[in-house]
Amino acid sequence: MKKLFLSLYILLIINLGFGMNIDYGASIDSFLGFHISDSSYMFGYQKVSIYSSLDITNSVSFAVDGFYKLSYSSESSSTVKNVFDLSTLLISFPVKNMSLNIGRDYISDYSGDILNHVLDGISLSLALGPGVLNTHILLSSLINDNEVSLFTTSNDDGGVSRVIEGVDYIKEFDSMTIWASLYSSQDVNSFVNLALYLGGGVSGTIKDDIFYSFRSNLLTGQFFYLDNITTEDKGAPLLAGMGVISTTWFMNFDNEIIRRLSPFIRVDFGISSGDSKLNTQTLGANQGDISISDGVHLYSPLTTGGPGTIYSINNQNLTYFKIQNSVSPMENLQAQLGSTIFFRTVDGVISDEDLKSNVSGNYLGLEVSLVGNYRPFSDLGVSVSGGVFFPNKAVLDSSVSGMLAAYLSLSI
């Protein structure tokens, strides 16, 4: 398969690019991190990408991006993974008020709360009067398993296979943007697993230097579980949701020093629903009874991830309050100091395996982080980050942990 992708990549560049005005280049990404706790370990990856794009005609363009990635971790036993794949293989048909994309590309819903992933499929963008309509029909089966960050189910032993459909409508006003989203997901391995997301939000400015955003989505569908009595796979009604309120203040005071520092403060408050009846957050792994069959309220987005920098918990049964302070002491240097308080929304399962069983209490812990970003040139970026997570030992069976990490990106 690797040789097939490599041959396809080379042939496409030669055949399509010969005699044409082609844009091409390469990039190198290097990441190294150290997790510091009772059981410390090292992790990271090295990634080399080669990309190219060209305009075949005025209304047809082509883009391809292939990469080799070496990732490693010494957490439990030394693990090394080698991945060769395509992150982009896209042919686009841009015409007036419309753009059709076919192939592999990075796809996100407008808010970024539901889906953020590289997927294969068809995307269509239409300009409808003052608004824009984006539609997607997507498939995850062809993505390398090592690069998949979708939520898994008990049926995913042979790979994560999803069919995802999505629609976003975005309308902009002078000082405000509103949007609505509808996304659905089916598990190809078991079409009993059906998820439907209905989302929306608004963002804009209160004053010239204060920005706000409110976004939420409702999750309905079927929650797959194993019946204790019949030992059959069944689907329970699913009703869950999440919401986030964000405010950013750019402190444009009439002071030369402050203007040079370009400081801003961002505050986020987020909440996602949970369910105290479940014994695991993994879809299909719960052993259920009549209480589960009545309905489940655990929220799960399509893509894994959460608000933490050090405490990498997923956005399931999670309530958090996050504040970030940023300054730029130099033109190409930015420093961010942040802190986040984490809670369980209800006494129930979360994505942290260190959660104690049969324990009450919602406070999970406090995270403090510091990030420095330096970009001396447009093609070179360096980021250094670190932080500490202080867990609530009454709820989590873990000790204070820290992380130090460095990231370098170079484009050629």
| Range from 134-138, 202-206, 261-265, 340-344 carrying the lowest mean pLDDT | 261-265
pLDDT digits (tens, 9 = 90+) for 357-387: 888 899 999 999 999 999 999 899 999 999 9
How many Cβ atoms are within 10 Å of 128's Cβ, its own excluded? 10
pLDDT digits (tens, 9 = 90+) for 103-115: 999 999 999 999 9
Residue at token pair 């693990």: 79
Question: Which is more confidently placed, 89 or 23?
Answer: 89
- Residue 269: phi and psi, rounded to 5, are -125, 125
**pLDDT at 183 (0 to 100):** 97
Q: What DSSP line would sit under 302-334, residue for residue?
A: SB---S-SSS---SSSEEEEEEEEEEEEETTEE
Kindly state the percentage of the chain with pLDDT values over 70.
87
Whether 216 and 90 map to the same domain: the answer is: no
Question: Which is more confidently placed, 408 or 194?
Answer: 408
* Average pLDDT estimate for 242-253: 93
> How many angstroms separate the CA atoms of 155 and 218, rounded?
24
Please give the tally of structural domains in the chain: 2
How many Cβ atoms are within 10 Å of 160's Cβ, its own excluded? 19
Whether 20 and 55 map to the same domain: the answer is: yes
Whether 77 and 202 map to the same domain: the answer is: no
3-state secondary structure of 290: helix
Whether 125 and 191 map to the same domain: the answer is: yes
Whether 184 and 39 map to the same domain: the answer is: no
What are the tokens at 307? 């608000």
Last residue of a domain, one of 94, 129, 154: 94
Whether 89 and 107 map to the same domain: the answer is: no
pLDDT digits (tens, 9 = 90+) for 301-340: 999 999 998 998 999 999 999 999 999 988 899 999 999 9
pLDDT digits (tens, 9 = 90+) for 121-177: 999 999 988 899 999 999 998 998 889 888 877 666 667 788 999 999 999 998 899
Residue 4 predicted with pLDDT over 50: no
**pLDDT at 313 (0 to 100):** 92
Residue 89: C-alpha distances to residues 47, 66, 102, 136, 352 (Å): 18, 8, 8, 16, 35
Whether 51 and 163 map to the same domain: the answer is: no
- Domain housing 194: 95-411
Whether 54 and 147 map to the same domain: the answer is: no
Whether 114 and 132 map to the same domain: the answer is: yes
Whether 75 and 214 map to the same domain: the answer is: no
Bridge-based pairing of strands 287-288 and 210-227 is parallel
**pLDDT at 80 (0 to 100):** 86
> How many angstroms separate the CA atoms of 36 and 57, rounded?
54
**pLDDT at 277 (0 to 100):** 83
- Residue 313: phi and psi, rounded to 5, are -90, 145
> How many angstroms separate the CA atoms of 230 and 407, rounded?
51
Last residue of a domain, one of 94, 120, 146: 94
Residue at token pair 């608000």: 307
Whether 29 and 117 map to the same domain: the answer is: no
- Whether the CB-CB separation of 99 and 91 falls below 8 Å is answered with no
Residue 222 predicted with pLDDT over 70: yes
* Average pLDDT estimate for 67-76: 89
- Residue 306: phi and psi, rounded to 5, are -155, -175
Round the average pLDDT of the chain to a whole number and report it: 88
3-state secondary structure of 150: strand
What are the tokens at 34? 């150290």
Residue 15 predicted with pLDDT over 90: no
Helix (H) or strand (E) holding 8: helix 2-17
Last residue of a domain, one of 94, 111, 137: 94
**pLDDT at 10 (0 to 100):** 56
Residue at token pair 């093609």: 379
Per-residue confidence at 288, pLDDT binned at 50, 70, 90? low
* Average pLDDT estimate for 8-26: 63
pLDDT digits (tens, 9 = 90+) for 166-175: 999 999 998 8
Residue at token pair 């032993």: 157
Question: Which is more confidently placed, 283 or 17?
Answer: 283
**pLDDT at 5 (0 to 100):** 52
For residue 215, which of 180, 169, 168 has the smallest C-alpha distance?
180
**pLDDT at 386 (0 to 100):** 96
Question: Which is more confidently placed, 207 or 316?
Answer: 316
Whether 34 and 154 map to the same domain: the answer is: no
Residue 7 predicted with pLDDT over 80: no
